[in-house]
Amino acid sequence: MRLSIVCVGGKMPAWVDAGVGEYEMRLPRELNLQWKEIPLARRGRDSKPEQLRQAEGEQILKAIPESDRVIALDVQGKSWSTPELAQQLSGWQMSGDNYSLVIGGPDGLAPQCLERAERRWSLGPLTLPHPLVRIVLAEQLYRAWTITVNHPYHRD
Whole-number average pLDDT of the chain: 95
Is residue 126 a known part of a binding site? Answer: yes
CB 71 within 8 A of CB 118: yes
Is residue 124 a known part of a binding site? Answer: yes
Nearest to 110 by CA among 63, 24, 51: 51
- pLDDT > 90? residue 30: no
CATH architecture of 2-148: 3-Layer(aba) Sandwich (3.40)
Q: What are 34-80's pLDDT values in tens digits?
A: 999 999 999 999 999 999 999 999 999 999 999 999 999 999 999 99
Is residue 131 a known part of a binding site? Answer: no
Average pLDDT over residues 82-86: 97
CA pseudo-torsion sign 151, 136, 82, 63: negative
Sheet of 99-103: strand order equals 32-38, 2-8, 99-103, 69-79, 119-122
Is residue 104 a known part of a binding site? Answer: yes
Give the span between the Cα atoms of 137 and 143, in whole angstroms.
10
Q: Please state the domain extents for the chain.
A: 2-148
Percent of the chain with pLDDT over 90: 87
Q: What is the pLDDT of residue 93?
A: 94
Lowest mean pLDDT among 39-43, 111-115, 151-155: 151-155
Residues in contact with 83: Cβ distance below 8 Å, sequence separation at least 6, in sequence order: 147, 156
Cα angle vertex 104, ends 74, 137, to 5°? 65
Q: Who has greater pLDDT, 138 or 1?
A: 138
Is residue 141 a known part of a binding site? Answer: no
